């Protein structure tokens, strides 16, 4: 073997190890697709939250018990997960709090920038349950 072989082989192995480590760290293309699907789910839930606030405003600030009639506050609402067909879950927690839940694939990778104060509400993500928690201040 030529003397240059070992340094080149070592460098090639080091580069291959770095590529593998990077794919493990960021998850590769499959993880990116999961993140995009989860982002779409978050956008659906935020739009539903706005529609629920609309229903509550029409009912003098009382949050609805169910999502019946929600279409009147948003004609293009997505009430089912577009990737699995499973309906999103709505739960009224109190007079001014509710949650909307989805089957997120990678909740740990969701960005916190989606949440915070929006108009009259505070929104938090519970990554353990896959729910956005909405609290309104009427």
Q: Is the pLDDT of residue 38 over 90?
A: yes
Whether this prediction's pTM lies above 0.85 is answered by no
Q: Look at residue 6 and tell me if it is in a domain.
A: no
The residues near 31 (Cβ < 8 Å, ≥ 6 apart) are 106, 109
Q: Look at residue 62 and tell me if it is in a domain.
A: yes
Q: Look at residue 5 and tell me if it is in a domain.
A: no
Q: Look at residue 3 and tell me if it is in a domain.
A: no
Q: Look at residue 1 and tell me if it is in a domain.
A: no
Q: Look at residue 24 and tell me if it is in a domain.
A: no
- Could you give the number of structural domains in the chain? 1
d(CA 88, CA 106): 16
Q: Look at residue 55 and tell me if it is in a domain.
A: yes
Q: Look at residue 18 and tell me if it is in a domain.
A: no
pLDDT per position as a tens digit, 113-131: 556 555 566 888 888 888 9
pLDDT per position as a tens digit, 54-68: 888 888 888 999 988
Phi, psi of 114 (to 5 degrees): -70, -20
- Residue 82 belongs to domain spanning: 30-136
Closest CA to 37 of 128, 125, 109: 109
Q: Per the structure block, which two tokens stand in for 12?
A: 């090639």
Q: What DSSP character marks residue 64?
A: P
- Locus of tokens 């989860």: 38
Using DSSP bridges, classify how beta strands 121-126 and 116-118 pair: parallel, antiparallel or unpaired.
antiparallel
DSSP of 99-128: EEE---S-GGG--GGG-EEETTEEEEEETT
């Amino acid at each position: 073997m030529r003397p240059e072989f070992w340094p080149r082989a070592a460098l090639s192995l080091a580069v291959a190890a770095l590529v593998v480590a990077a794919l493990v760290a960021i998850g590769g293309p499959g993880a990116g697709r999961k993140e995009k699907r989860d982002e779409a789910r978050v956008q659906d839930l935020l739009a539903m939250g706005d529609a629920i606030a609309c229903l509550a405003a029409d009912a003098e600030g009382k949050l609805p018990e169910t999502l019946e009639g929600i279409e009147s506050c948003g004609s293009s609402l997505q009430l089912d997960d577009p990737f699995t067909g499973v309906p999103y879950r709505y739960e009224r927690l109190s007079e001014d709090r509710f949650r909307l839940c989805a089957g997120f694939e990678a909740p740990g990778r969701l960005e916190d920038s989606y949440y915070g104060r929006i108009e009259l509400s505070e929104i938090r993500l519970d990554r353990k349950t896959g729910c956005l928690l909405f609290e309104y201040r009427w």
